[in-house]
Amino acid sequence: MFALSLRSTKFAFAQAAGRGGGAGDAIVKANTDLFHPPTEEEIRERDLSQDAAIALSVAALILVGADILWALLGLTILGEFPWMILAFLAADLGLVWMSRSPSLRTRVLTIGRGVAGIAWFTVAVIVFGDPVAFPVGQGLLLLSILVLLLGRGGEGKVVTGIVVAVISVGLTFSLAFAQKQTEINDRNRGIAEVYELATVGRIGDAVDAMDLLLEQYPDDAWVHMNAAELFAADAIRDLNRAVLLANRAVELASDELKARAYLVLALVQEKRGEFAKAIESASNAVEVNDKDPLTYWIRSGFYLATERRVEAMEDLRKVEELVPGTDLAQRARLARLQLQGDSPVRITAPDN
């Protein structure tokens, strides 16, 4: 029975094959297509396509990471947040999303983003005086993107692109820090020269040198604070200009300098006889930094000048609490005891 069945099956296939390439050929072709193994060329093209997709995703993620590091660089070294980074970050997050479905358009947009970064930061250097390190870093970042997106390659290309991106970020931080430090050193050297001129009696030269510094650093709170102190000095005593400079310093000051700027303003206002304003400015300094004993010491003098003895003693007691055992604490304790004994007290700023 089995032999008969096998012969019948063979006869059926033979009939099908004998009908001019009919059902037999169709069956063979269908099974051949279904189990056709990919050629080496097809495997190679598939791997290259996957590598290109990975490289595109890595390029987009590198841009996002660079944006975050650029923002940190602005906050830590420049002392301000580069708001334009938010626009770049939004665009780069969009590129990350688009890289999920890689295409020639996405590659072109990613390269265009690198070019836009160079263009913007170059304008920022020319117009706003930003560090040259920024466009240099963006140029190296573009180089890493080109390494990732152009030509063929697998893991080696991806690793090379990442290494170039890391180098670009590191070099940018180094150059920006060096440029900022050089700028700070030049500024401080200029301020020191101003005070040297004032000390030897060359007041006119000191004023001219300070005016030049103000032109060079129009948005520098430290320069404006020192200028306010110079013009408020007894040798010059241009109190109108001093108070303008001190107010400008308060506007420009970062959080770490804000309390000091308020204190400089308070001292200028005290010289102008504006004790109520001086107390207000000193109180603003306390709100910014309530751990500075010098602010309490100076404000106690303002309180004393306006016959507010209780508030003066409270500030003096606060000085003793903040810096116990120091010369300033001893002076504060002596002044407080004299106030309690209704003795006349004179409070002046410490020499240091």
Q: Say if CB 289 and CB 336 are below 8 A apart.
A: no
Quick one: average pLDDT of 104-127? 91
Quick check: 194 and 206 in contact, CB under 8 A? yes
- Percentage with pLDDT > 90 across the chain: 49
- What is the spatial distance between Cα 228 and Cα 261, in angstroms, rounded to a whole number? 10
Q: Is the pLDDT of residue 331 over 80?
A: yes
Q: If pLDDT is split at 50, 70 and 90, which confidence band does 240 have?
A: very high
pLDDT in tens, 4-52: 444 444 444 344 444 444 555 555 455 555 556 777 776 666 766 787 8
**Confidence band for 1, pLDDT divided at 50, 70 and 90:** very low
Greater confidence, 75 or 43? Answer: 75
The two structure tokens encoding residue 180: 């900022």
Region of 344 (left: φ > 0; alpha: ψ -120 to 50; beta: rest) is beta
Separation between Cα atoms, residue 201 and residue 189, nearest integer Å:
19
Q: Which sequence spans correspond to the domains of the chain?
A: 43-179, 291-352
pLDDT level of residue 351 (50, 70, 90 thresholds): low
- C-beta of residue 154 within 8 angstroms of C-beta of residue 198: no
Top-confidence range, 14-18, 102-106, 343-347: 102-106
Structure tokens at 66: 């660079």
Are 171 and 164 contacting, i.e. CB atoms less than 8 angstroms apart? Answer: no
Q: Which is higher by pLDDT, 51 or 346?
A: 51
- Mean pLDDT, residues 261-274: 96
Find out whether 111 and 145 touch, Cβ atoms under 8 Å: yes
pLDDT at 73: 77
Confidence of residue 134 (pLDDT cuts 50, 70, 90): confident
